[in-house]
Structure 1
Amino acid sequence: MPAPNLLQPPGKQAHATFRPEFGQRFIVTVDTEEEFDWSAPLDREAHSVVTVPALRKFQQFCEGFGVVPSYLIDWPVADSACAPEAIGDAVSAGRAEVGVQLHPWVSPPFVEDVNELNSYAGNLPFELEREKLLTLRDRIESAFGTPPRIYRAGRYGLGPRTAEILMECGIAVDTSVRARFDYSGTGGPNYREHPLHPYWTDEARQLLELPLTTVYWGPLRQVGNVIYPHLWRAPTMRGVLARTGLLERIPLTPEGITAEEALRGVDIAIDEGLPVLVFSFHSPSLATGHTPYVRSEADLDGLYDWWRTLFTHLARRGVKPTSVHEIMKSVQHG
């Protein structure tokens, strides 16, 4: 049986179902990565991992709400002693989970040219993508003493044979699909037609896709996927539509999305019956000065306030936190 092509949207028959007691849940995924200049060209050497200790504070914060974060770790972090020091105990105790995030330009073996096209791992030759992914997976297991079960391609860069590699190395969940987004203009995938609902990628139901949650809000949201592809020619129109309340695209992230916007997005996802809401953000935002979203202590306080507001609202609406372990235990394979 051939491995699936994760770049292809699935049919409705692939939608995953969960045990009735699972209800609706949410999961927090953290792109746990090195710091680098987001405005500069990609560079294999120009990065640091000074924000990794800040994971400890975020972990403690999440534990206060009963949230089990999934830290999707790339090579510079996996290769740093700081990561196990910050979250190793939580991972060992089941209060956190680790997964794989592949930034190919900083992940060995260093064979390919560093450029935008190759920053999407799925564009690499199959054997090179495979070697990078397996090397990183093994490094994470060595660092934390547990095999990672979830994967996210850096820059959401899945390829036509990525699923084959994930199945080989024991990954149960992929969460690289960023539904409602199109990266084909820079050589990446187009996920505009992919569903938000979790789905099986293969007939044998070995690999579950857990798309990041992004919803459209406003009176035009039912035709959001028709309108948004045309707005790249007139980016100011996106702001006009959002400000007038006609159409807004809301990914569930504290980076560039206000708490008020995120609350609207959460309510739409809940009301539409989405079984798992997937939140995400980048770990360097847990310290000041490393991402465009957190430039000051006030910004950092605002990030924690954002999570506090969202966790409180989710609890009020009866949506409990979940984990990869719980998802795989609750999803129905038959």
Structure 2
Amino acid sequence: MAGIHITDPPAPGSAVRFAPGFGQRFVLTVDTEEEFDWGKPIERSGHTVHTIARLARFQEFCEGVGICPIYLIDYPVASSPAAIEILRPAVAAGRAEIGVQLHPWVSPPHTETVTEHNTFAGNLPAELEREKFDRLRETITDAIGTPPLIYRAGRYGVGPNTAQILADGGIAIDSSIRPHFTYSFAGGPDFLNLPLHPWWVDADRRLMELPLTAVYSGLLREMGDWLYPRLWRMPPLRGVLARLHLLERIPLTPEGVTLDEALRGIDIALDMALPVLVFSFHSPSLAPGYTPYVRDEDDLDRLYDWWRGVFAHLQRRQIRPTSVAEIMASVALA
């Protein structure tokens, strides 16, 4: 995959096709990570993993509605006995799946200086990005008992060497691309103008890109990738455009997105004939006080109610959950 960048526009004919009968499905991905202060510069030390205990309740919640969550875990979580105790039996029983999330600032080896630029793993030298990934993958495999097949870069920070590293590491699916977002202002990748439909990153079909789902709503939605980033210095204007139903960006996450907005986003994504809707959120939101989105128990209750409302709407729309294993099996039959 030399020279192939995950953020390159997909080649003609590279769209993933699924077996007949697959239809439209959804996956629930959890960025399962340590806690840190989101309002301060990222540091190598000072993090905790207190919210890992809350995974047990969330896993039970998912099992109660027949959903197999995908936990994308980073090094502090993979090194946590509490996380292993909760996740290993769920994965072994087929009630959950495991993947890799690389936070380079807390993943050994710790040879780089921690700067904002270096928090995007794809900005690191190829050898260092590879070693951090390999160590994390091996730690996850040893801890959970099964090799991970899906990857998400922390801060969505893929780079020019990521595709080769993932393919060499046995990863079948990357889910780092966040269409309609750009992190170029911080030295990270730019995902504007990339599609929502999954595609093959390479001609040999060794690596699939399964983008997170985010859509534009409103009369100006076709101009979204041009107009929305230009409003980043004017948040009130974004709010005005949303209230006037002119332009609104809706990622499928309970973090900062209301249930009504999410249901509207789901319907737009389904109307676009997306085969897989990708939901996501951060595991520290499962306990009050660790993210801006869940400050108290009432916020936590609202997070669970958000998921209940989303699952009920998907059921009404006859959209079933799926998994990494099922996605790969359906692609193999296409």
Shorter chain as normaliser: what TM range?
A: over 0.9
* Aligned counterparts of 1:73 and 1:2: Cα–Cα separation in 2: 27
In structure 1, the residue matched to 2:220 is 220
In the TM superposition, 1:156-175 aligns within 5 A as: 156-175=156-175
TM-score normalised over the length of structure 1: 0.98
Q: Match of 1:262, SS?
A: helix
When structure 1 is superposed on structure 2, of 234-243 and 280-289 the one drifting more is: 234-243
* AA in 2 matched with 1:211: P
* Aligned counterparts of 2:125 and 2:333: Cα–Cα separation in 1: 32
When structure 1 is superposed on structure 2, of 183-192 and 216-225 the one drifting more is: 216-225
Residue 235 of structure 1: how far off its partner (Å)? 2.7
Q: Match of 1:39, SS?
A: coil
Deviations 1:248-300 (A, max 9, x none): 00000000000000000000001110000000000000011100000000000
Q: 1:84 to 1:323 in 2, by over 3 A?
A: same
Unaligned runs of 5+ in 1: none
In structure 2, the residue matched to 1:72 is 72
Residue 73 of structure 1: how far off its partner (Å)? 0.2
Contact 2:120/2:157, CA 8 A, preserved across alignment: yes
In structure 2, the residue matched to 1:323 is 323
When structure 1 is superposed on structure 2, of 250-259 and 226-235 the one drifting more is: 226-235
In the TM superposition, 1:64-213 aligns within 5 A as: 64-213=64-213
Q: 1:221 to 1:332 in 2, by over 3 A?
A: farther
Contact 1:7/1:191, CA 8 A, preserved across alignment: yes
* AA in 1 matched with 2:192: R
* AA in 2 matched with 1:108: P
* AA in 2 matched with 1:145: G
* Aligned counterparts of 1:160 and 1:306: Cα–Cα separation in 2: 36
1:277 equivalenced with 2:287 (yes/no): no
In structure 2, the residue matched to 1:297 is 297
* Aligned counterparts of 2:3 and 2:185: Cα–Cα separation in 1: 26
Residue 32 of structure 1: how far off its partner (Å)? 0.2
* Aligned counterparts of 1:140 and 1:188: Cα–Cα separation in 2: 26
Q: Match of 2:185, SS?
A: helix
* AA in 1 matched with 2:298: A
Residue 3 of structure 1: how far off its partner (Å)? 5.8
* Aligned counterparts of 1:172 and 1:290: Cα–Cα separation in 2: 32
* AA in 2 matched with 1:324: V
* Aligned counterparts of 2:232 and 2:11: Cα–Cα separation in 1: 28
Give the share of equivalent positions with the same residue, in percent.
62
* Aligned counterparts of 1:279 and 1:214: Cα–Cα separation in 2: 9
In structure 2, the residue matched to 1:314 is 314
1:7 equivalenced with 2:7 (yes/no): yes
* Aligned counterparts of 1:3 and 1:124: Cα–Cα separation in 2: 16
* AA in 2 matched with 1:47: H
* Aligned counterparts of 2:229 and 2:81: Cα–Cα separation in 1: 43
When structure 1 is superposed on structure 2, of 6-15 and 149-158 the one drifting more is: 6-15
Contact 1:17/1:332, CA 8 A, preserved across alignment: no
Q: 1:173 to 1:127 in 2, by over 3 A?
A: same
* AA in 1 matched with 2:91: V
In structure 2, the residue matched to 1:254 is 254
* AA in 1 matched with 2:164: E
Q: Match of 2:43, SS?
A: coil
Q: Match of 1:63, SS?
A: helix
Residue 12 of structure 1: how far off its partner (Å)? 4.1
In structure 2, the residue matched to 1:236 is 236
Residue 227 of structure 1: how far off its partner (Å)? 1.2
Q: Match of 1:159, SS?
A: coil
* AA in 1 matched with 2:115: N
* Aligned counterparts of 1:132 and 1:138: Cα–Cα separation in 2: 10
In structure 1, the residue matched to 2:26 is 26
* AA in 2 matched with 1:192: L
* Aligned counterparts of 2:4 and 2:96: Cα–Cα separation in 1: 29
Unaligned runs of 5+ in 2: none
* Aligned counterparts of 2:67 and 2:144: Cα–Cα separation in 1: 19
1:50 equivalenced with 2:50 (yes/no): yes
In structure 1, the residue matched to 2:39 is 39
Q: Match of 1:40, SS?
A: coil
Q: Match of 1:86, SS?
A: helix
Contact 1:3/1:202, CA 8 A, preserved across alignment: no
Residue 5 of structure 1: how far off its partner (Å)? 1.0
Residue 332 of structure 1: how far off its partner (Å)? 4.6
* Aligned counterparts of 1:333 and 1:106: Cα–Cα separation in 2: 39
* Aligned counterparts of 1:3 and 1:58: Cα–Cα separation in 2: 40
